[in-house]
């Protein structure tokens, strides 16, 4: 066991479960975000009070079992933002993981430890989870491949909930080929029809910092060589703010429904920002949540119709590279809002999204996202592999 | 029988066949473009030499029979551009029909007589046919409703061919309600799923004259009230010229294959422009036709994918109102090229397109087109009716 120089793993004894001797992932080592149950190992959900008030898991989450049966071995549980409710990757209790590709910047979260473990080469791949960007954002920030699969494609049994109608698992890998191999174990067959055309949504590109948009333009051009010219499309005439707002309001109500009772009962200690977000979730007016859900229907119908024939969206995963560790809370909140206007596409509509590490901006990684309609995960992973190779 | 003041009908005895006593179209009167066979009446295809060298039809085109059996009665055969090969509606042998809504302008063609018969109120509806715009353009120019159905949805048996892989029937009516009623008789059930979102392709709007785009903008806004905000989309990054060129080259080869042997054998007399177009079809290099067919595959894949989930394109049917009767041949050719860059969408991809008479520009009618994916004809007609009512 090498030393965990980037602080990817939850402190304490390192979880370890050997995988099957044979299988499509035989010999691979993986880590799991510490919100998946692993029998005999505590699930901290990133917060000491959560760990203290929950029993030791007696069973293992099915998604982990699938990977073990495919031959991969668990070599640790990784840090998560407390209750997965944050995008920077900060965790004051376990220590914020170092971003291996940009040590002066946040790693991104909430699946911060899994991203850091993969980006530092300590594991072959790692499980995360994604509600509002928690796999896509750390993949972009840490310069690795990551996928948020179609909502509902893979069971989240044995995983802690955040906003159930938005929650998905997800995983990170250093290559598109390995990202796909894991997907072939976890994903149902889905729709394998050819993907295309490529769509370039205007606002997510305009929303990105200039250095990021420039850094990713050559990658887009290379994908055009595979799929034909990108067609400009205006997916968000209401503004990305409307998408963010709908996501924020609709998900907040779910978050409070899922976790509010525990928060209210145990009054846990939270690090900076997390408690404030739970307070905002608690105080979300029912009317705003309902408006968010209503807009979600609009966005869902629109995106499903546009992607029904195989079209693929391409845009910067995050508006820029990870914020600096020195960024103040106001800056972090501003980045969060600008980021989630774009991550909201897949979140609101249950789409599958792969982030590919295809650019460097201001010396730090930025990812290009490819997004396809629900159920096209394996086709999207195949496209990512074809493109990245 | 009222006098045919606009010259919509082929000169000579007026064809007449009574429809069934009962049926969904009982009591309605319709005309048919003179390229559909009607037993016992000559099919002129708009050219005296064609009429002279073809036998009297012994049977009636199935599409006409379907309408007769539904209760509608044929009250005449209407003028067509010679061999349907032109968009202005000119016919020097039979006389160019008058555009009832703009008498100083062309009626549009090639289904000029059918459009004029409907626009002048002489019939309840009329059959035309459309290869490169021959229903859509006269519908726009004459201020009436017209449909080019999905390619292959309705048999063209008993109709003269022009470019078979592009040819469709089509019909005109003074209201969206009647356009739909006829469709319910002729069309297979198809895909009745809800339509949306609305897409606003940039180049067809930019290609339109300013007065036409302005005249149709309020109509687009009203459709947005039904379907949600129109999403801007760039369907033709290669340029409309590329679409026109692909249509022109691929269709020319088919036109010559279908009609060249007759033209070469009989050396018919043609009015202005028609002979030149046949000469160009004859001289179309095989390589250019092949390139046109190759681009057609690209356009087809792109448009089918984008419209697969129910999205609807909305754009000006024609770039402007009908050209003035005084326009010279160069002006007519320029209008033709600019027009067919836009009509090529449905032509190349076999889409269904409805033109709605929703604007007046420079004192003459212009239509707004709604285009949906193949097989969605009835849903599109229902949308047009819902919108126009």
- pLDDT, one tens digit per residue, over A33-90 is 999 999 999 999 999 999 999 999 999 999 999 999 999 999 999 999 999 999 999 9
User: Is the pLDDT at B1 greater than 80, yes or no?
Assistant: no
Identify the residue whose tokens are 């269709």.
Answer: B251
What string of DSSP letters covers B82-137? GGG--SS---TTT-PPP-TT-TTB---SSSHHHHHHHHTTSSSEEEEEESSSTTHH
Of A237, A305, A309, the CB nearest to B196: A305
Nearest CA among B82, B41, B75 for reference residue B61: B41
| Per-residue pLDDT at A388 | 85
Q: Which residue of A has its CA nearest to B300?
A: A197
Query: How many of the other CB atoms lie within 10 Å of CB of A388?
Result: 18
Q: Can B33 be counted among the known catalytic residues?
A: yes
The answer to whether B9 and B77 have CB atoms below 8 angstroms apart is yes
The answer to whether A40 and A76 have CB atoms below 8 angstroms apart is no
Contact (CB<8Å) B231/A229: no
- Domain A1-389 CATH class label: alpha beta
How far are the Cα atoms of A85, A319, A342 from residue A337, in angstroms, in the given order? 14, 10, 9
Q: Looking at CA atoms only, how far is residue A201 from chain B in angstroms?
A: 9
Nearest CA among A366, A325, A340, A328 for reference residue A106: A325
Q: Which residues of B touch A379 (CB under 8 A)?
A: none
Find the DSSP H helices in A70-151.
112-119, 136-142
Contact (CB<8Å) B231/A232: no
Interface list for B 167-206 with A (CB within 8 A):
196-197, 202
Q: Domains of chain A: which residue ranges?
A: 1-389
Give the tokens for residue B279: 């000469």
User: Is the pLDDT at A1 greater than 70, yes or no?
Assistant: no
Is A302's Cβ below 8 Å from some Cβ in B?
yes
How does residue B2 score in pLDDT terms, banded at 50, 70 and 90?
low
Q: Which residues of B touch A310 (CB under 8 A)?
A: 305, 308
Give the tokens for residue B96: 């160019």
Query: How many of the other CB atoms lie within 10 Å of CB of B52?
Result: 11
Q: Which burial class, exposed, middle or buried, applies to A293 when counting CB atoms under 10 A from its CB (0-12, 13-18, 19+)?
A: middle
Mean pLDDT score, A370-375:
98
Contact (CB<8Å) B232/A202: yes
How many CA atoms lie within 13 Å of A225's alpha carbon, on the beta-carbon side?
8
Give the integer Cα–Cα distance in Å for B138 and B144: 8
| Per-residue pLDDT at A130 | 98
Residues B84-117: tens digit of each pLDDT: 999 999 999 999 999 999 999 999 999 999 999 9
Give the integer Cα–Cα distance in Å for A126 and A67: 11
What are B274-278's contacts with CB under 8 Å, separation 24+?
B274/B81, B274/B82, B274/B83, B274/B85, B274/B86, B277/B85, B277/B86, B278/B83, B278/B85
Give the integer Cα–Cα distance in Å for A299 and B89: 44
Q: Looking at CA atoms only, how far is residue B298 from chain A in angstroms?
A: 9
Q: Cα A61 vs. chain centroid, distance in angstroms?
A: 18
- Residues written for chain A: 389
Give the integer Cα–Cα distance in Å for B32 and B117: 10
Is A349's Cβ below 8 Å from some Cβ in B?
no
Residues B312-351: tens digit of each pLDDT: 999 999 999 999 999 998 999 999 999 999 999 999 999 9
Residues B120-169: tens digit of each pLDDT: 999 999 999 999 999 999 999 999 999 999 999 999 999 999 999 999 99
The answer to whether B240 and B203 have CB atoms below 8 angstroms apart is yes
Residues near B366 by beta carbon (within 8 Å), at least 6 away in sequence: B140, B212, B215, B216, B316, B317, B318, B320, B321, B358, B359, B360
Pairing status of strand A312-316 against strand A125-130:
unpaired
Question: Helix B240-266 and helix B274-282: axis angle, to 10°?
Answer: 100
How does residue B3 score in pLDDT terms, banded at 50, 70 and 90?
confident
Share of chain A above pLDDT 70, in %: 99
Identify the residue whose tokens are 């989450």.
Answer: A61
Backbone angles phi, psi at B280, to 5 degrees: -65, -35
Q: Can A79 be counted among the known catalytic residues?
A: no
Contact (CB<8Å) B310/A305: yes
Contact (CB<8Å) B302/A228: yes
> Minimum mean pLDDT among A129-133, A188-192, B199-203, B366-370: which range?
A188-192
Burial B200-210 (b: 16+ CB within 10 A, else e): bbbbbbebbbe
Find the DSSP H helices in chain A.
48-53, 62-69, 112-119, 136-142, 176-186, 202-207, 210-227, 240-266, 274-282, 286-307, 329-349, 377-388
Find the DSSP H helices in chain B.
48-53, 62-69, 112-119, 136-142, 176-186, 202-207, 210-227, 240-266, 274-282, 286-307, 329-349, 377-388
Is A294's Cβ below 8 Å from some Cβ in B?
no
- CATH topology classification for B198-388: Amidase signature (AS) enzymes (3.90.1300)
Is A242's Cβ below 8 Å from some Cβ in B?
no
Is B231's Cβ below 8 Å from some Cβ in A?
yes
Q: Which residue of B has its CA nearest to A201?
A: B233
Nearest CA among B382, B354, B384, B383 for reference residue B369: B354
Radius of gyration in angstroms for the set of CA atoms belonging to chain B, rounded to a whole number: 19
Is A66's Cβ below 8 Å from some Cβ in B?
no
Q: Can A155 be counted among the known catalytic residues?
A: no
Chain A to chain B, count of Cβ pairs less than 8 Å apart?
69
Question: Helix B286-307 and helix B240-266: axis angle, to 10°?
Answer: 130
Residues near A256 by beta carbon (within 8 Å), at least 6 away in sequence: A278, A281, A282, A284
How far are the Cα atoms of A144, A321, A363, A368 from residue A212, in angstroms, in the given order? 16, 7, 11, 10
User: Is the pLDDT at A281 greater than 90, yes or no?
Assistant: yes
Give the tokens for residue A276: 């404030």
Give the integer Cα–Cα distance in Å for B225 and B219: 10
Q: Which residue of B has its CA nearest to A230?
A: B237
Give the tokens for residue B161: 């061919």
How far are the Cα atoms of A8, A59, B34, B100, B354 from residue B150, in angstroms, in the given order? 57, 56, 22, 28, 11
Give the integer Cα–Cα distance in Å for B60 and B40: 9
| Per-residue pLDDT at A3 | 86
Mean pLDDT score, A334-341:
96
Identify the residue whose tokens are 């968010």.
Answer: A292
How does residue A2 score in pLDDT terms, banded at 50, 70 and 90?
low
Q: Which homologous superfamily is B29-186 in?
A: Amidase signature (AS) domain (3.90.1300.10)
The answer to whether A148 and A371 have CB atoms below 8 angstroms apart is no
Q: Give, as one character, the DSSP assignment of residue B1.
A: -
Share of chain B above pLDDT 90, in %: 97
Share of chain B above pLDDT 70, in %: 99
The answer to whether A17 and A76 have CB atoms below 8 angstroms apart is no
Query: Model pTM greater than 0.90?
Result: yes
Radius of gyration in angstroms for the set of CA atoms belonging to chain A, rounded to a whole number: 19
Q: Which residues of B touch A302 (CB under 8 A)?
A: 196-197, 228, 231
User: Is the pLDDT at A159 greater than 60, yes or no?
Assistant: yes
Residues B26-68: tens digit of each pLDDT: 999 999 999 999 999 999 999 999 999 999 999 999 999 999 9
CA dihedral A160, A165, A171, A175 (to 10 degrees): -170
Contact (CB<8Å) A306/B311: yes
């Amino acid at each position: 066991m090498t030393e965990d120089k980037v602080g990817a793993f939850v402190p304490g004894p390192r979880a370890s479960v050997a995988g099957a001797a044979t299988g499509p992932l035989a010999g691979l080592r993986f880590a799991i975000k510490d919100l998946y149950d692993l029998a005999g190992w505590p699930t901290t959900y990133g917060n000491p009070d959560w760990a203290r008030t929950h029993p030791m898991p007696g069973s293992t989450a099915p998604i982990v079992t699938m990977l073990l049966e495919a031959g991969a071995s668990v070599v640790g549980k990784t840090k998560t933002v407390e209750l997965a409710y944050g995008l920077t990757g900060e965790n004051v209790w376990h220590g914020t993981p170092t971003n291996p590709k940009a040590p002066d910047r946040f790693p991104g979260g909430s699946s911060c430890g899994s991203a850091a473990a993969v980006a530092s080469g300590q594991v072959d791949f790692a499980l995360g989870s994604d509600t509002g960007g928690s796999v896509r954002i750390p993949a972009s920030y840490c310069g690795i491949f990551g996928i948020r699969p179609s909502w509902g494609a893979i069971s989240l049994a044995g995983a802690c909930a955040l906003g159930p109608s938005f929650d998905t698992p997800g995983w990170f890998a250093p290559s598109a080929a390995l990202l796909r191999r894991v997907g072939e174990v976890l994903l149902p067959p889905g729709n394998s029809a050819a993907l295309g055309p490529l769509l370039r949504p205007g606002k997510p590109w305009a929303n990105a910092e200039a250095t990021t948009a420039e850094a990713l333009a050559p990658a887009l051009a290379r994908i055009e060589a595979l799929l034909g010219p990108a067609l400009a499309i205006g997916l968000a005439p209401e503004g990305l703010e409307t998408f963010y707002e709908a996501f924020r309001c609709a998900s907040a109500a779910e978050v409070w429904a899922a976790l509010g009772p525990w928060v209210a009962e145990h009054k846990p200690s939270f690090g900076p920002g997390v408690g404030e977000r739970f307070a905002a979730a608690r105080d979300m007016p029912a009317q705003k949540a309902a408006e968010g859900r209503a807009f979600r229907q609009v966005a869902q119908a629109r995106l499903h119709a546009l992607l029904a024939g195989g079209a693929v969206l391409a845009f910067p995963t995050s508006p820029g590279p990870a914020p600096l560790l020195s960024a103040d809370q106001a800056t972090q909140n501003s980045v969060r809002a600008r980021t989630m206007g774009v991550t909201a596409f897949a979140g609101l509509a249950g789409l599958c999204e792969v982030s590919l590490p295809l650019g460097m901006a201001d010396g730090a990684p930025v990812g290009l996202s490819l997004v396809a309609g629900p159920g096209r995960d394996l086709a999207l992973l195949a496209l990512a592999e074809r493109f990245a190779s």
